[in-house]
Amino acid sequence: MNLRLGSTSGEKHPGDAASIRDGELELAAIAGGRASGLMADRTYDMLKRCIDLCGALVGLLLFAPVMLGVAMLIRLDSPGPVLFRQLRRGRNGRLFYVLKFRTMVADAERKLKELEQFNESENGVLFKMKHDPRVTPLGRFLRRSSLDELPQFLNVIRGEMSLVGPRPLQLRDSDKLLDLDPEGYDTRLKVLPGLTGPWQVGGRSDIDYAQMVELDREYVESRSLLGDIRIIFQTVLVVVVGRGAY
C-alpha cells in the first residue's frame, strides 16, 4: 500500500503560503491601479478647472463689447428680457440655470406645446425645428454665430459648467433620454456640461440624439486636456463656418 502524505504535483492550494502571497500581490496591483486612476482623474479635474477659469475670464474680457452690443440689439428687436435662464442638469444631476442671450419671443415656452407635432428630431427626444417661428430674426443670427452662448462664461466661472463637455439638455429632453437610454443619460452626468463639446464639433443640429449620446460617451471615456484643447480650436472653425446651427 502506497500512502501519500503530501502533494507532489507542485499545485498550489488555497491555504498555501505562496497562493496567499500571490493573491495579496494581485489585490495590491488592483488597488494600486485604482489609486493611480483616481490620482490621474483628480489631476485632470484640477488642471481643467484652472483652464476653465482662465479661459472664461479672458473670454468675458474679450467679448464684453460684443455682449454689450448684443444686449442693446435684443432690447431693440423684441420685448422681453435680454438674458434667458433655463434649468438644466449638470454633473451628478445637479440642477442649475444655464444663461443665454434670448433668441426667442418672450412666451416661447408656452408656444412649444403647440409646435410639438412639428418636431423634426428622430425619436422625438430632442426638439428640433429648422424654421421655428418662435425664434426672432436677430435670434437666428445669434444662434448661427453662437453669440447667444457667450453668457455661459458666467456659468463656467461659477463652476456649473466647463469650457468643454457634453451640452446640458433641457429637463424635458433629459427626462426623455433617461427613459430611452439610461446608460447614456448616466454617462453624460459624470462630468460637467460644457460651453462646447463633441456635439458642437461633430455636427450640432445635423446629428440625431443617438449620435449625440455616442459622441458624449466617447468624450467622457477618453477625455484629456489635449482633447479638450482640440475641441476648443475645432469649435472656432465650426462657428466661423456656421455648420449645423439653426
Task: Please report the pLDDT score of residue 98 as a whole number.
Answer: 97
Q: What is the pLDDT of residues 109-167, one digit of tens each?
A: 776 666 665 555 665 566 666 777 788 999 999 998 899 999 999 999 999 999 999 99
Residue 220 near residue 190 (C-beta atoms within 8 A): yes
pTM over 0.85? The answer is: no
Q: State how far the Cα of 73 lies from the Cα of 82, in Å rounded to an integer.
A: 9
Q: Is 169 helix (H, G, I), strand (E, B) or coil?
A: coil
Residues 186-210, mean pLDDT to the nearest whole number? 84
Average pLDDT, the chain: 81
Task: Please report the pLDDT score of residue 210 as a whole number.
Answer: 76
Q: What is the pLDDT of residues 44-59, one digit of tens each?
A: 999 999 999 999 999 9
Q: To which H or E segment does residue 89 belong? A: strand 83-89
User: Which cell goes with 188?
Assistant: 453624460
The rounded percent of the chain whose pLDDT value lies above 90 is 43
